[in-house]
């Protein structure tokens, strides 16, 4: 009987490994310089809100990254008597208690206002915070419970780099300098 010589599997042959090494070497050499990319993907244009038109779309684009998922409820931009006003409605979704709600609202308002007042066309910002409120009979409804309003004249003197950490430590810092503010009595009665 004649002995049958078994063939080695392909991955155990010397020439297979030579091909693998050559392919990896060529890929490493050509990996850094890909000229086949279209010119539009080489350099992306960044959005400069300070030079943009004051529209709902541009405002949303400018501030949306400062909010968590589904927290930015609405953005409106309007002009009355020559004053351009941006109205933001925000819902922090998961505030643990009333103090956390007010703190998150103040921090988010400060972050958004810093961005919005970089645009010279922004004259006024009204920042509303809404949340679920439960009445004495257990009925729940979404209500706007916190508002802080800032005008361009007031905002121009704010040193945002120093002011933002102050608000993070004490939300009252924003309400103290605001042109107008409101916290629902249903919220304030539970803040300790």
Query: What is the CATH classification number for the domain harbouring 130?
Result: 3.10.310
Report if residue 49 sits inside a domain: no
**Confidence (pLDDT) at 2:** 58
Strands across the sheet with 83-90, in order? 72-80, 83-90, 124-134, 140-151, 180-183
Crossing angle for the helix pair 56-63 and 98-116, to the nearest 10 degrees: 120
Question: What is the bridge-based pairing of β-strands 83-90 and 124-134?
Answer: parallel
**Confidence (pLDDT) at 164:** 95
Count of the separate structural domains present in the chain:
1
**Confidence (pLDDT) at 42:** 47
Residue whose structure tokens are 């040193």: 159
pTM over 0.85: no
Going by C-beta distance under 8 Å and a sequence separation of 6 or more, which residues neighbour residue 168? 103, 107
Q: Half-sphere exposure of 50 toward its Cβ, with a 13 Å CA cutoff?
A: 3
Report if residue 69 sits inside a domain: yes
Tokens linked to 162: 């120093």
Distance of CA 81 to the CA centre of its chain: 31
Going by C-beta distance under 8 Å and a sequence separation of 6 or more, which residues neighbour residue 42? none
Range of the domain at 120: 54-188
Report if residue 39 sits inside a domain: no
Report if residue 102 sits inside a domain: yes
DSSP β-bridge partners for residue 181: 148
Mean pLDDT by 10 residues, the chain (192 residues): 64 72 75 52 68 93 90 94 95 88 95 96 96 88 94 95 95 96 90 74
**Distance (Å, rounded) from C-alpha 163 to C-alpha 27?**
51
**Distance (Å, rounded) from C-alpha 102 to C-alpha 111?**
14
Report if residue 1 sits inside a domain: no
Report if residue 122 sits inside a domain: yes
Q: CA angle at residue 128 from 144 to 62, to 5 degrees?
A: 145
Report if residue 76 sits inside a domain: yes
Report if residue 91 sits inside a domain: yes
**Confidence (pLDDT) at 133:** 87
Q: CB count, 10 Å around CB of 158?
A: 17
Element (H, E) at 183: strand 180-183
**Confidence (pLDDT) at 75:** 95
């Amino acid at each position: 009987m004649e002995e049958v010589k078994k063939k080695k599997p392909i991955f155990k042959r010397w020439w297979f490994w030579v091909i693998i090494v050559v392919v990896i070497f060529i890929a490493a050499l050509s990996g850094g310089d890909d000229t086949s990319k279209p010119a539009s993907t080489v350099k992306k244009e960044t959005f400069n809100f300070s030079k943009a038109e004051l529209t709902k779309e541009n405002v949303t684009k400018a501030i949306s990254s400062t909010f968590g998922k589904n927290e930015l409820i609405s953005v409106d931009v309007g002009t009355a008597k020559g004053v351009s006003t941006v109205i933001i409605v925000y819902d922090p979704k998961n505030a643990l208690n009333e103090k956390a709600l007010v703190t998150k609202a103040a921090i988010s308002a400060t972050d958004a206002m810093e961005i919005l007042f970089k645009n010279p066309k922004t004259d006024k910002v009204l920042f509303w915070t809404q949340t679920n409120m439960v009445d004495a009979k257990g009925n729940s409804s979404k209500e706007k419970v916190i508002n802080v309003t800032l005008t361009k004249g007031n905002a121009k003197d704010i040193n945002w780099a120093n002011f933002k950490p102050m608000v993070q430590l004490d939300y009252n810092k924003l309400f103290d300098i605001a042109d107008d503010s409101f916290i629902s009595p249903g919220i304030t009665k539970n803040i300790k």
